[in-house]
């Protein structure tokens, strides 16, 4: 799935993330929505799965400053709120696609 995946910032303020999947599908996400869904140990308690991140603390003008491809399975975003530890598997991001075709 990684060979054809392209990621770019879009939106007036770069506050949206566009992923063009290798099958031609395009998903546009709000950067803040992806950040709030982070499942890393800083954001979600490992054993109980209780959310530690308070969504109210995530700035409304948050952007993904950059991203890293993690192997052949995930993306790590480098957020403007200095949160860098979350890894977002491709299948999770695809399931989160907000488009009318996927919902």
pTM: 0.89
d(CA 19, CA 26): 6
DSSP state of 61: T
- Cβ neighbours around 63 below 10 Å, total: 21
Per-block average pLDDT, block size 10, for the chain (103 residues)? 78 90 95 96 95 96 94 95 96 95 89
- E strands of the chain, at which residues? 6-10, 16-20, 26-30, 64-70, 74-79, 88-89
Domains of the chain, earliest start first: 6-95 (3.30.2020.30)
Q: Which pLDDT does position 3 carry in this prediction?
A: 58
């Amino acid at each position: 799935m990684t060979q054809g995946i392209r990621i770019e910032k879009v939106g007036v303020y770069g506050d949206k993330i566009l992923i063009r999947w290798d099958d031609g599908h395009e998903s546009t996400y709000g950067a803040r929505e992806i950040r709030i869904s982070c499942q890393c140990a800083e954001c979600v308690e490992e054993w109980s799965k209780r959310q530690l991140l308070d969504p109210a603390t995530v700035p409304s003008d948050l952007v993904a400053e950059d991203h890293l491809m993690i192997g052949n399975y995930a993306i790590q975003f480098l957020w403007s709120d200095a949160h860098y530890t979350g890894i977002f598997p491709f299948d999770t991001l695809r399931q989160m696609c907000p488009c009318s075709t996927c919902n």
